[in-house]
């Protein structure tokens, strides 16, 4: 029996590592094995900022990968949490009746949805702001080089 509340929390807290994919799809989940790649690249971008400063041209490409992965996993947690119990049980608990308690929505599920909405939207907006700011600053610098 796959629990909807646990899947929502795994998507929110461990989503960038693919934990929710492994919980729902097992060790053969392709997405579960692919999710750590943009997460690791984004963390490498954060490390590049620490080593080379904010002016590093690769950091504004790599860091948003981490942010978009976190935001995508937060969206997945929201989708899991808001899925009706009947649809959840049809999709993930095929042998159980549609009214099985594994697909029910409780206060812990609502908490996962609310936190995922808050954190996911904040991370998404921060990723957009960081990448656009760095991109336009880079364009201004290149324009100055051309005009001189």
User: What are the tens digits of pLDDT across the range 83-122?
Assistant: 999 899 889 988 887 777 887 889 999 999 999 999 999 9
Q: What share of the chain is helix, strand, coil (3-state, %, to 5)?
A: 80, 0, 20
Q: What is the pLDDT of residue 82?
A: 95
pLDDT band at 32; cut points 50, 70, 90: very high
What is the DSSP secondary structure assignment for residue 26, as one 8-state letter? Answer: -
pLDDT band at 51; cut points 50, 70, 90: very high
Q: Which two tokens stand for residue 36?
A: 């750590």
Whether the pLDDT of residue 141 is over 80: the answer is yes
Whether the pLDDT of residue 61 is over 90: the answer is no
Percent of the chain, pLDDT > 90?
64
Whether the pLDDT of residue 133 is over 90: the answer is no
Q: Which two tokens stand for residue 11?
A: 């998507």
Whether the pLDDT of residue 39 is over 80: the answer is yes
CA dihedral 95, 98, 100, 105 (to 10 degrees): 130
| CA distances in angstroms from 45 to 16, 32, 62, listed in the order given | 15, 21, 5
Q: Yes or no: say if 106 and 5 are a contact pair by the CB < 8 Å rule.
A: yes
Least confident of 1-5, 37-41, 60-64: 60-64
């Amino acid at each position: 029996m796959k629990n909807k509340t646990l899947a929502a929390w795994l998507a929110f807290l461990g989503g960038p590592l693919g934990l929710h994919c492994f919980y729902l799809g097992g060790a053969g989940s392709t997405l579960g094995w692919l999710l750590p790649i943009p997460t690791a690249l984004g963390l490498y971008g954060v490390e590049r900022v620490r080593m080379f400063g904010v002016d590093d041209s690769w950091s504004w490409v790599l860091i948003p990968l981490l942010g978009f992965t976190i935001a995508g996993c937060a969206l997945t947690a929201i989708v899991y949490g808001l899925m009706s119990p009947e649809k959840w049980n049809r999709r993930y608990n095929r042998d159980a009746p549609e009214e099985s308690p594994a697909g029910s929505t409780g206060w812990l599920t609502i908490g996962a949805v609310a936190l995922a909405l808050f954190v996911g939207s904040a991370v998404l907006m921060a990723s957009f702001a960081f990448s656009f700011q760095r991109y336009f600053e880079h364009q201004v610098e290149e324009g100055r080089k051309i005009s001189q």
